[in-house]
Structure 1
């Protein structure tokens, strides 16, 4: 134990020895003791806000910050080195092979993900930290299966996504209290690599997920100021892009940028989590029931409104408005199907660049040339900050409009069940990024499928064929499909599929859906890593 910090798992001892130095533990302890009480207060505020929405108080733009939205004079920081042009960003987890391939992909940046595309086993978390540290120092080359993996001369610029404020890191406690997963992920990366990044002409850059209030952005900003002073690098060296992937955050984009303005590098349309949040935050509103998730596209009114408002907001404040993920992956041995899939990528990226986005996300290196070609053709400069979208007028009603063309179908129910079971079983088995139906899926997919099934059961929705969707009906679909999950994701353990089945059956029967699948199932990973129950706030 050092500075009140205790590591409760012996997983990956070599990585632990390299990362958990006395000075690093001192930094973790200082961050926890300074900021944990604020984090807990903000999480309580989330619960209070949800109760107000459940009682009928609608989401709206905060009246107390109207002066910030009305003031045209303030702007965010200038782009940091390497972030001037972000037209194609590739994302993925932090295993060693993925890190090298993503950095070599030809994309402008690589978002190394400790969050939704990562299953947070302790091995994944700390080995991922070692991989990023080694990549920054150009010491990540290795051989596997007779193949050499070597970093190119000009790799992509690295951006790291820590986990969200809602998650604990139960394998590490400070004074017998679990540390924030956000602080844990940020602190280890920042402490071990910030000075090295600056020395190499870059900087510590982050993506910040799942925020619901501008005060949560203020907490991040306070941590940035504290941390830069702590290790002795200039203030405002850090840059952070915030994912607008919760419904409350869509009403506070200006305020979030304002809180982070000296450290801000823009906002991103986290489209899949945004749909999940739309359902979850309006859980008590029968009128907000959505059809099959394939019908909830970026062109439906509430999604289109959110995109337009994000672009207008970012360009008004002179920062990047980043587009969302194209989850498609190349389809081998079926050229016709592959062309259809790539056609969807082209249409999606064309929609983004013509709307005014400054860059976009991809999940596979082979998608890069398609995305880059479209942005190169339609975005001649490094960004589109000049496109102020003065034509955009978005009101609260536009962001809340639940009207979506489409229906609930038996096929949609079955797909949701299959996807939720497959991803959940993979996640508890240590894999947070899996190909399903030629899409690269992460936790957001499982979350949408979970809350849609809950919503349809809760409000007694009838499918297009007249089938009443009840918990018992969904149970029958689960019973039918669960034996096939191993064909969708080969190598899953039977115990993990059973856990996924039990979890989904429980969820569709709850009064309200759980906030996050990852919070619910984190104790399973912690137990596997040797953590005692008293250090876990949640339970299965």
Structure 2
């Protein structure tokens, strides 16, 4: 087992985390499950090849009909601290110490402690973030409420597609999620359990019940190894892939002793259609800025089915994250407009029966809690069984009508470039045009540009074809707009590097499965980390 030396300035944090006992535990955990991780990733590739070669579309599995048709089984009830989580803070990268402390001091019911979508997984960020969780769990932050009184921590390790370059186990780079999960459980699992505040997790980018089964096996093994009661780990699975939408009951069934429910979000889920079917003309996804929202049939059906599935099995169903930022001047028109938009969208989720959702901006916590109280009863909405819902494969696979706008194309280019630029700066999210953007919005942005080029889609504005040349021309315009925000020569160079990398991704013949995998294996990103770390404790500027 080989572990890289500590990043600059994190010697104490490194030594706190990487004790000899912890390293032994990590080695055992990773060597036990590494082969199964490879297996689920190969299963993903195999399913994709089958869909491409056969032209088939996903449907509900015949082999698991007995699970779906059995009305008796339920997930175990969740602990009291999870029963009322109307409003969580989402996308919180814990390496940002001040924002993490602000969240712990907030009236939110939970915090999505995010090592995935909103986090850039540099070695510095992982160690800083995991150590900050350690400090929160062991009450080492000054003037922060005790673990049992602060918002509950919902820990989100990286997804299966990510590797940890700084840890080699038996000659292989470690799976990123096992690195994160192992450190968090070893150092925090017992204390969280003793304070009736965990250990609770979010599981990202799960694509099948086989992946849920792997997580369940990992939970059972870990609880036994650490002397914790079976079933004390609880996990919410994010259904952010179209294939997983057809296996929601099976995913719950596999995790029934460890389930905290399912979560639905809009952008990773929408991007998965391009990932799986993007080369098919029938799955051309129109401009997300104009035609894609949770009121569209394919997304509304997915949310309704998720709520119905969860509540039928006694599991909690949670909605997505409001990414908008609330302008501070409460008398301004923009403040009222943003508040009205978020209220309308979150009311849609409440009325669909969700038991909670997330916001990024802490200013939304109390207004959204009041909204929940006004339009629902009790701690959750488990009593809303949604027997009115019947969702077919056609409902889930029905693409919305609409075309491509010049505004939408330029917006997607800007988001994609700025995301790569953020990663090259060591940040997993950034602010642009009044909202937070992260890997989920970067995924849908670059997916759409790739797909529109592939299908030679025409702009609604002037009938120009979305081509390599048009995207390169628009890139110059976008760079003129973004360039004024760069205040140093280094920042300008980094932005141009990000633009080159974005074009590389969207012009590829074959669709790169995840932009985060692509970046995490790219020499430019890896060399930017060894060149020095940005200070992620400093607040980022809003673009």
Q: Quote the residue 1:70 is aligned against.
A: 69
Is 1:278 aligned with 2:273? Answer: yes
* CA distance in structure 1 between the partners assigned to 2:263 and 2:203 by the alignment: 10
Single out whichever of 10-19 and 154-163 deviates more from structure 2: 10-19
Q: Quote the residue 2:102 is aligned against.
A: 101
Unpaired segments ≥5 residues, structure 2: 532-543
Partner of residue 400 from structure 1, selected from 386, 397, 401:
397
The 5 A counterparts of 1:74-153 are 74-91=73-90, 92-94=92-94, 95-141=96-142, 150-152=143-145
Q: Quote the residue 1:355 is aligned against.
A: 352
C-alpha offsets along residues 377-399 of structure 1, whole Å, 9 cap, x if unaligned? 11221111111111111111111
* CA distance in structure 2 between the partners assigned to 1:451 and 1:488 by the alignment: 25
Q: Quote the residue 2:503 is aligned against.
A: 505
* CA distance in structure 2 between the partners assigned to 1:14 and 1:139 by the alignment: 14
The answer to whether the Cα contact below 8 Å between 2:298 and 2:395 also exists between their aligned partners in 1 is yes
* CA distance in structure 1 between the partners assigned to 2:172 and 2:327 by the alignment: 47
Unpaired segments ≥5 residues, structure 1: 142-149, 532-540
* CA distance in structure 2 between the partners assigned to 1:313 and 1:489 by the alignment: 48
Is 1:155 aligned with 2:150? Answer: yes
TM-score (norm 1): 0.93
* CA distance in structure 1 between the partners assigned to 2:216 and 2:483 by the alignment: 44
Shift of 1:520: 1.1
Partner of residue 30 from structure 1, selected from 28, 41, 48:
28
The answer to whether the Cα contact below 8 Å between 1:203 and 1:237 also exists between their aligned partners in 2 is yes
Partner of residue 315 from structure 1, selected from 274, 297, 311:
311
Shift of 1:527: 3.3
The 5 A counterparts of 1:181-260 are 181-260=176-255
Shift of 1:498: 2.3
Q: Quote the residue 2:527 is aligned against.
A: 527
Structure-2 change in CA distance of 1:422 and 1:529 (3 Å)? closer
Shift of 1:511: 2.0
**Secondary structure, aligned partner of 2:221:** helix
CA-atom RMSD, angstroms? 1.6
The answer to whether the Cα contact below 8 Å between 1:421 and 1:482 also exists between their aligned partners in 2 is no
Shift of 1:9: 5.6
Shift of 1:440: 1.2
**Secondary structure, aligned partner of 1:83:** helix
* CA distance in structure 1 between the partners assigned to 2:486 and 2:44 by the alignment: 35
Q: Quote the residue 1:48 is aligned against.
A: 46
Single out whichever of 152-161 and 211-220 deviates more from structure 2: 152-161
Shift of 1:14: 2.1
C-alpha offsets along residues 445-466 of structure 1, whole Å, 9 cap, x if unaligned? 1111101000000000000120
C-alpha offsets along residues 212-234 of structure 1, whole Å, 9 cap, x if unaligned? 11100111000000001101111
Q: Quote the residue 2:375 is aligned against.
A: 378
Shift of 1:283: 1.5
Q: Quote the residue 2:536 is aligned against.
A: none
**Secondary structure, aligned partner of 1:501:** helix
Single out whichever of 283-292 and 294-303 deviates more from structure 2: 283-292
Single out whichever of 256-265 and 53-62 deviates more from structure 2: 53-62
Q: Quote the residue 1:15 is aligned against.
A: 13
